[in-house]
Chains A and B, each alone.
Chain A
Amino acid sequence: MDWSKVDAALAGALADSVDPGERRLAVFVHVEVEQADASLLADLDVQAVGGGVRTGTVSPAGVDHLTDQPWVTRVQLSGPLRLLGDG
């Protein structure tokens, strides 16, 4: 794992002691578009579309594998947003 490419929230999520084989994490994957390996991204359930910022739902092992790729610059955990109206 190249921890320098992982944001703080994802690092925290990876520390959870749930069976890593069962876990899937919604993430953003920042890639260098020209160098990105489309088939590897597809194998790891990362979207084929999206330019330099892709989305996907990957396993902890998948995060590990992604950060080892030189064309992956950043992997960020997706989080929930809130509605900004009442009622």
Chain B
Amino acid sequence: MRYEKLSPTLAVAVDDYARAGVRALAVHSQNLGMVSVDDTPKPPRVVVFLHPKAGADLDHLSDLGIEVNGAAGSDGVRTAIVPMDSIDQLSEDGAVSRIVPAQRLRLLMDVARAAIKVPAFRKTAKLSGKGVIVGVVDTGIEVGHPDFAGRILQVWDQTLNGTGVVEGAYGVELSGAAMVQSRDTVGHGTHVAGIAAGADPTYTGVAPEADLVIVKSDLMDAHIADGIRYIFRVAEERNMPAVVNLSLGGHADGHDGSDSLSAVIDEAVGPGRIVCCAAGNEGNLNIHAQVLVQKGRTRTIACAMARRGPNDPAFVAAYNGWYSRADRLEVSVVSPSEVATPFQSILATGSPSKDYQLPEGAVRIITPGPDPANGDHNFVVMIEPAPTSPTAPAPGGQWRLRLKGTKVSKGTVDVWTIDERVSLFSGRTVVDNMKIGSPGAASGAITLASYTTKVEWENMFGDPFTAGLELDDVSDFSSEGPRRDGAEKPDLAAPGAMIAAALSVHSGAQPNFLVDSLHTLKSGTSMATPFVVGLVALLLQRQPDLKPAAAKTLLRKNSLIPGQKTGVFDPKWGYGVISAKGL
């Protein structure tokens, strides 16, 4: 069986049929185009769309009992009635590239697009994104997805072995039929691309006629930087404007836009070259602690850490602290059994990194001199907890960071946990702000918060679900600004909760979120970002030399926090939820 040729719903139906026979098809018959679910007088059959390889003849399929209907359309797709028993052989047939079941259609409201007036704007302004490149640096794209048919210009797959491109001597650049070598096995990039530029009649992307340039990235920030430059270079060679989508982020930076990836974005953008970034999804997570340190006094930050069992792989909890160039601090770490490292001062000469062994784990403290980019002081603490026996008593307490002022003028210290999956802060030092890291903190980027337009949905099997979010409000999970230097971030909000868009057939689909065989729901500021990427594509179609600052100003002016006047900034909302109506 060539599962990669089957839509996820058909794959599930085939497996269920193989395991439990015709009885298993009852549930699928509610949704798929099942002709018969009884095995008498004919075996169960399913109505499908067959996507043939270019120029392939499908006449021989009658030998498998498959009735191929009518003439091919301009896209070559045929409909057919296929016995369930023949799906396996059909998937192995070299003439067929994809098998998608017909469905019982329902009218589905495209809530998110309408909520920000995208259809009305597109219709009134007669804009579709045509002539504009939407660049996506992400997990790749399902090249064969019908929502992108004929509009993917090039793919740089950084994860394949090859000689790369001008911007980086790694990965493989693909175009035309060869693009199928690159697969989106995660599904994130395909979904993002679908929101920005998908061409489905129901789940229409914001700019459904834009062309796409895709970078499938390993997600290292240096390679993301290479991907941004690649997209803008391709756009320049084609004499097209471009907007790049970055639905990713981290917290290993100064949260002030001075990090290297932000510097690359600031350098790369310009007239006709715009970048949009996600704010982050840590709105409900204690990833940021802030203390005010005084000279000669010690302040403590409590760190709740995942417990490492005897058979668990090693992990490192890392903390990233920043404070004024005018201050000098010493840093120490206290283990759960109250054993502490010495206080480590700034080590401006020689390696600033020192290692310590405490009873419950290994500790590395790094205290360099002023950061060359912003002049502030930065320290990094890394803790690798030792495995604990399941029969041993739990460690009495938590890991703690101790900060002692030796020269204090400002005194404020901000610390972020780099990976919230292994450690969060607890106690009174936790603050709910400044959670937008790189690249959302980049001055030259347009940074998006998430707004909730849907909290209830039915999956394609008719099962109802409810999300734990407040409708028509900024999404709880959306990360708060401002930046550490006080600059305003995020810039604005767009729909990011329960958004339906393209499903990659190569990713593991979650049935609860499938709205049909080609589309799924996802949530996050990742989903808010391509809404505005699509809007920027429309604006670039209207004005190809649009400058990033002008685009940001226009978008901010057309955003509004409910109950407030236009032009009011809030660290959770930015300037509010975008409305395309007045763009």
Contact = CB atoms under 8 A, between A and B. Distances in A.
- Whether both chains belong to one complex is answered with yes
The secondary-structure label for the interface of chain B is mixed
A12 B366 contact: yes
B219 A86 contact: no
A11 B353 contact: yes
Given A85-B524, A87-B187, A74 B373 contact: yes
Interface in B220-275: 220-226, 229, 247-250, 252, 259-261, 263-264, 267
A15 interface: yes
Contact of A53 (B168, B192, B250, B263): B263
A14 B380 CA distance: 14
B368 A8 contact: yes
A26 interface: yes
A28 interface: yes
Given A8-B378, A83-B188, A83-B526, A3 B352 contact: yes
B263 A80 contact: no
Nearest to B527: A85
Given A79-B221, A84-B280, A85-B524, A49 B250 contact: no
B252 A79 contact: yes
A5 B260 CA distance: 13
B166 A78 contact: no
Interface in A1-31: 1, 3-9, 11-12, 14-15, 26-28, 30
B523 interface: yes
A84 B355 contact: no
Contact of B250 (A1, A8, A79): A79
Specify the main secondary structure of chain A where it touches its partner: mixed
Contacts of A55: 168, 222-223, 225-226
B222 A27 contact: yes
A59 B216 CA distance: 25
Interface residues of B, number: 68
Given A81-B250, A82-B219, A85-B192, A6 B522 contact: no
A28 B355 contact: no
A47 B233 CA distance: 15
Interface residues of A, number: 38
Nearest to B368: A8
A50 B366 CA distance: 29
A86 B379 contact: no
Interface string B370-390: 111100001110100000000
Given A83-B524, A85-B191, A85-B527, 10 more contacts: A7-B368, A8-B320, A8-B378, A15-B353, A28-B225, A74-B373, A81-B220, A82-B249, A83-B186, A84-B524
19 contacts: A11-B351, A12-B364, A12-B380, A15-B366, A30-B260, A52-B267, A53-B263, A55-B222, A78-B220, A78-B221, A78-B222, A80-B220, A81-B219, A82-B248, A82-B249, A83-B186, A83-B188, A83-B524, A85-B192
Interface of A: 1, 3-9, 11-12, 14-15, 26-28, 30, 45, 47, 49-53, 55-56, 73-74, 76, 78-87
